[in-house]
Amino acid sequence: MDGATSRRPQTQRSGAAQEEVRRHNLSAVMRIVHAAGTITRSELTERMGLSRSTIKALVAELVALGALTETEPAGTRAGAGRPSLVVRPPRSCAHVLAADVGVDRVVVGAYRLGGGFTASEERVLTGHAPSVEQVIGLLVELVAAVRSAGEVAGVLGLGVALPGIVRAPDGFVRFAPNLGWVDEPFGAMLGQALPGLRLIVGNDGDLGALGEHLRGAGRAVDDLVYVHGDVGVGAGFLLAGRPVSGASGYAGEVGHMVTRPDGAVCRCGVRGCWETEVGAAAVAAALGRPLTSVRELAEHVHGPLDRTGTAALDAIAVALGRGVGALVNLLNPRMVVLGGLLSDVYEIATDRVHAGVAAVALRACFDEVRLAAAACGPDAVLVGAAETMWQDLLEDPAATLAVAS
């Protein structure tokens, strides 16, 4: 009796361990398929280092959930030695929603398993920066419009990107100077407005870094800095393949590095922030344009520009490079990706940005780093908001994807 009693906990622990291994393997399969979009079963076997029978069983379970499909490769014939089956998400697959909240626009998109947007809706904002209540009202409207699209099925959650200091666990916004928000319970209010919808709220720089790392210029780069510039400037950091967000999740407010102590007063109240040199207001002033829309301003950056405009944009580009050089010295990244309006400045004045970096960065750090414009373009933050929701959901695909099936 005593012996049987002593063995029972070990059996229970063994069963729990086996279940954890199964959950981990299902998660790994789904992450690989989500990233690849389409992959053969033999490629899955090679990448995961498991037996063919184990991969077959894992895929079969996910097919039964409706999360994956298996098909013969195009043009193959039945018989011995035929190519490995192709694994992909089904055409009518689960989606997550993603939102990018800016000072001058709000965008919501439906992002499918395997990557890519199926539908999106946008509202352009004019006049004063929107209040929390106005943004939540717009999000409710846009979410309803996107969900009504015929191709969008099985919505599992909503990831929201905001230009401010966001407390990750509950989406509480401590400070968003360009929106004029201070200590706003945004996440709780949005949850009340969209009951039953799983939510993640994050900083736009952090989410842009994730988007570019998984789908953009920073694929396979584990030491990455993403700098996003619209009205404000923020950043996200990925070091050794892991996001660096700080003790409270507030790291990345690089727009508020003081780069010119005798410069203009920033909306945060400090004089000479980097944002005052390279943010949208500085670019608009340099080009002699009103700041009505960041998207319109980006078109003006691409010209044509007269000699005065070109010189002014060159000065912005050098200031951009100096700030990037300071980040290169601090973090020693393999790549710096510039997104939003900053990608337009970089594309037009690449040499001047590089000159600014070289003037500040230590040679040892400068020799190792590569600069790039965001490959996801203006959608880098939106992609990151969608991907952060998928990464969360794919921790336990058997549980989460069953909801959509």
Q: How confident is the model at residue 61 (pLDDT cuts 50, 70, 90)?
A: very high
Statement: residue 3 has pLDDT above 80: no
Q: 125-129, 179-183, 365-369: which has the minimum mean pLDDT?
A: 125-129
Q: Which helix (H) or strand (E) holds 342?
A: helix 341-348
Q: 292-296, 381-385, 388-392, 399-403: which has the minimum mean pLDDT?
A: 399-403
- Residue 304: asked if its preceding bond is cis (omega within 30°), the reply is yes
Token pair 């989606």: residue? 95
Please give the pLDDT value at position 79. Answer: 52
Structure tokens at 239: 């070091």
The b-or-e profile of 109-126 (16+ CB within 10 A means b, else e) is bbbbbbbebbbbbeeebe
Please give the pLDDT value at position 5. Answer: 46
Instruction: Give the mean pLDDT of 272-285.
Output: 95
Q: 121-125, 127-131, 309-313, 375-379: which has the minimum mean pLDDT?
A: 127-131
Rounded CA-CA distance 89/159 in Å is: 21
Please give the pLDDT value at position 77. Answer: 55
What is the pLDDT of the chain when averaged over all its residues?
Answer: 91
Instruction: Give the mean pLDDT of 70-95.
Output: 77
Q: How many CB atoms lie within 10 A of CB 241?
A: 10
Rounded CA-CA distance 397/258 in Å is: 44
Rounded CA-CA distance 337/383 in Å is: 15
Rounded CA-CA distance 161/26 in Å is: 28
Q: 10-14, 108-112, 246-250, 392-396: which has the minimum mean pLDDT?
A: 10-14
The b-or-e profile of 330-359 (16+ CB within 10 A means b, else e) is ebbbbbbbbbbbbbbbbebbeebbbbbbee
Statement: residue 80 has pLDDT above 60: no
Q: How confident is the model at residue 73 (pLDDT cuts 50, 70, 90)?
A: confident
Statement: residue 390 has pLDDT above 60: yes
Statement: residue 78 has pLDDT above 80: no
Statement: residue 149 has pLDDT above 60: yes
Statement: residue 86 has pLDDT above 90: yes
Q: Which residues contact 209 (CB under 8 A, 6 or more apart)?
A: 218, 224, 225, 226, 235, 236, 237, 238, 243, 337, 384
Strands 172-176 and 94-101: unpaired
Please give the pLDDT value at position 81. Answer: 58
Q: How confident is the model at residue 293 (pLDDT cuts 50, 70, 90)?
A: confident
Range 109-114, long-range pairs (CB < 8 A, 24+ positions) = 109/146, 109/379, 109/382, 109/386, 110/146, 110/147, 110/149, 110/151, 110/152, 110/155, 111/383, 111/386, 111/387, 111/390, 113/34, 113/67, 113/89, 113/390, 114/33, 114/34, 114/37, 114/38, 114/88, 114/89
Statement: residue 131 has pLDDT above 80: yes
Please give the pLDDT value at position 145. Answer: 95
Instruction: Give the mean pLDDT of 212-237.
Output: 95
Please give the pLDDT value at position 194. Answer: 97
In the chain, what percentage of residues exceed pLDDT 70? 94
Please give the pLDDT value at position 82. Answer: 63
Q: How confident is the model at residue 10 (pLDDT cuts 50, 70, 90)?
A: low
Task: Quote the radius of gyration of the chain (alpha carbons, Å).
Answer: 24
Statement: residue 6 has pLDDT above 60: no
Instruction: Give the mean pLDDT of 301-330.
Output: 94
pLDDT digits (tens, 9 = 90+) for 153-173: 789 999 999 999 999 889 999
Residue pair 198/157 in contact by the 8 Å Cβ criterion: yes
Task: Kindly state the DSSP code that residue 258 receives in the 8-state scheme.
Answer: B
Q: Residue type for 26, please?
A: L
Helix (H, G, I), strand (E, B) or coil at 326: helix
Helix (H, G, I), strand (E, B) or coil at 125: coil
Please give the pLDDT value at position 4. Answer: 47
Q: Which helix (H) or strand (E) holds 226?
A: strand 224-229
Q: How confident is the model at residue 122 (pLDDT cuts 50, 70, 90)?
A: very high
Higher-confidence residue of 10 and 327: namely: 327
Statement: residue 335 has pLDDT above 90: yes
Token pair 């191709």: residue? 151
Q: CA torsion angle for 185, 189, 190, 193 (degrees, to 10)?
A: 180
Please give the pLDDT value at position 120. Answer: 95
Please give the pLDDT value at position 399. Answer: 83
